[in-house]
Structure 1
Amino acid sequence: MTEEISLKEKRFNKWITVISIAIPLVVALLFGYKIPNAKPLSFLPPIYAAINGITAILLVAAVVAIKNGRQSLHQKLMTTNIVLSALFLIMYVAYHMTSETTIYGGEGFLKYIYYFILLTHIVLSISVIPLVLITYSKVYLDDFESHRLWAKYTFPIWLYVAVTGVVVYIMISPYYQY
């Protein structure tokens, strides 16, 4: 049984590595590509900001659910968060492939705060990909002890990314060209 789990875990780890590298690379490549003559999808930023907000709420709800012994609800909420994160990513890339980059127009101290939040949001959004996948994979490997251990690190980072996604949108929204 241990050997079977080890082989499954190795397969999971290979896919986690591939996905964790591929997503940021593909996003970076697509971010720099503009679809010629495409109509800007300027309606997307408030939608994907809302998705970030919903993700943050559902992450907290999932923790509350598992602390109250509601494992099935926890699993559904976490799966929903992964789906929401994928939807966010698709919309984010679609927006940036059809629209000009919006520059933050604030000045002074707020500008530094905005760029600090944006930078940490971006860095942690990349690092949360393998953390989420590893944490999620531990359930399928029936390794709940490791799942809990990984979740203690994954949860606060994912929550930070979700919340700062909303904050970044609120701060930059006055500068969008609609």
Structure 2
Amino acid sequence: MTKETKKYNKWIVILSITIPLVVAILFGVKIDAELPVFLPPIYASINALTSIVLIASFWAIKNKKVKLHENLMKTAIIFSVVFLVLYVAYHMTSNSTKFGGEGNLRIVYFIILISHIILSIAVIPFVLITYVRAITNNIELHKKIAKFTFPLWLYVAISGVVVYLMISPYY
């Protein structure tokens, strides 16, 4: 392991712990402010775009378009960061919406929601490790972890849209 990789690994650990903790803490902070726009459809759209970018990136690398793959992956990371900022901003300024569905639909909603939340936390170190392995040119290890990161991240992006679509009638 190179000195550069060790440095990145420290940041991966720090960010993988700090991001979920900060998000959890900020959920408890309420700001008495009205946002100029209704954010849920915006950040759901960002999740949808992230999933499209991830699929396009997968296509790019399978077709040996490495630079395109690299640019698309950077875009997916930026989209994910923007999503997170907007998501937290919404929850700091608005009360959470309760799901109003009943019966099996309610069970399906909570299964998707809970898996989405758990995997959105779990995917953070996967994305960071995968990215570091790419930028440090450790391509073989990058490919190995990307096989796990891609479906995890894609599930989180798509399930975020599904959760929004399921709860949107109750806003």
Question: Of the candidates 19, 22, 35, which is equivalent to residue 23 of structure 1?
Answer: 19
Question: Of the candidates 54, 57, 76, which is equivalent to residue 81 of structure 1?
Answer: 76
Q: TM-score, normalised by structure 2?
A: 0.98
Q: Once superposed, which parts of structure 1, at least 4 consecutive aligned residues long, lie more than 2 Å away?
A: none
Shift of 1:40: 4.8
Question: Of the candidates 98, 103, 109, which is equivalent to residue 103 of structure 1?
Answer: 98
Corresponding residue for residue 34 of structure 1: 30
> Does residue 167 of structure 1 match 2:167?
no
Cα deviation digits, residues 121-144 of structure 1 (max 9, x gap): 000000000000000000121100
Shift of 1:42: 5.8
Q: TM-score, normalised by structure 1?
A: 0.94
Give the percent of matched residue pairs that are identical in Structure 1 and Structure 2: 57
Separation in 1, partners of 2:97, 2:123: 25
Corresponding residue for residue 158 of structure 1: 153
Question: Of the candidates 7, 10, 30, which is equivalent to residue 6 of structure 2?
Answer: 10
Closer/same/farther in 2, CA of residues 41 and 25 from structure 1, 3 Å limit: farther
Unmatched runs of 5 consecutive residues or more in structure 1:
none
Corresponding residue for residue 60 of structure 2: 65
Corresponding residue for residue 116 of structure 1: 111
Question: Of the candidates 74, 86, 90, which is equivalent to residue 91 of structure 1?
Answer: 86
SS at match of 2:30: coil
Corresponding residue for residue 128 of structure 1: 123
Shift of 1:16: 0.3
Separation in 1, partners of 2:81, 2:136: 23
Amino acid at match of 1:128: V
Unmatched runs of 5 consecutive residues or more in structure 2:
none
Corresponding residue for residue 139 of structure 1: 134
RMSD: 1.0
Separation in 1, partners of 2:8, 2:79: 22
